[in-house]
Amino acid sequence: MSFPLLLTLLLLLISTSQGSASEHGKEPDLIEKSCSIIVGYEECVAILRSDPRSMKATKIKQLAYIILDLCIANATETLGEIPKLQEMYSKHDQIEEALRWCVTAYESAIKDYFSKAVEQLGKKSYREAQYSAHIGGALGTGCEQEFYFQAPEFSPLWPRNHELAVLGLVAEGIVSLLRLNESSL
């Protein structure tokens, strides 16, 4: 995609997303302002508004902690569902193999990436936190790909894998705003 086309699409996305608040005669709040700058405006707003803590946030860093908490909660919940699926599909070797791989992926997403991103935020290591959020979300996609390779017709974790990938993308975007703010100082 050419740079002018990409820039035009980005400006169009920002202008349409900011229009929702201004159409109602009010200023966009922190969530709308933050989400308008990153990819996935509607998902970003919906995800952040689903957590009541976001409505009280006054700084982007608070939103970053909240979205990373949501990533950890999602991955932890999914990890808790996998043993039930392993029992249900114990006679399907390919699905069982993919589920074993996903256990490792989700454990890593929680411990090695999302939790580390939280620590990195505290240290103002925004580049590292952004990378960690990216990889944590990508592990949801990796789990889904494992089903594609092992059992292409069926993935019992598709909705959960998709959710983690979207959460990771939003987390990466919100954390990237901290890097932008830092570089403009």
Q: DSSP secondary-structure letter at 112?
A: I
Residue tagged 């890593």 (tokens): 108
What are the chain's domains? Answer: 28-183 (1.20.140.40)
Q: Say yes or no to pLDDT of 133 above 70.
A: yes
Residue 129: the pLDDT is 98
pLDDT tier for residue 153 given thresholds of 50, 70 and 90: confident
Residue 38 is encoded by which pair of tokens? 């990153």
Q: How far apart are CA 164 and CA 135, in angstroms?
A: 11
pLDDT tier for residue 162 given thresholds of 50, 70 and 90: very high
Q: How far apart are CA 8 and CA 108, in angstroms?
A: 37
Cα–Cα distances in angstroms (integers) from residue 74 to residues 12, 59, 78, 137, 167, in the given order: 31, 23, 6, 11, 9
The model's pLDDT over 53-110, given as tens digits with 9 standing for 90+, comes to: 999 999 999 999 999 999 999 999 999 999 999 999 999 999 999 999 999 999 999 9
In whole numbers, what is the pLDDT of the chain averaged over residues?
Answer: 87
The model's pLDDT over 21-47, given as tens digits with 9 standing for 90+, comes to: 444 557 789 999 999 999 899 999 999
Give this prediction's pTM.
0.84
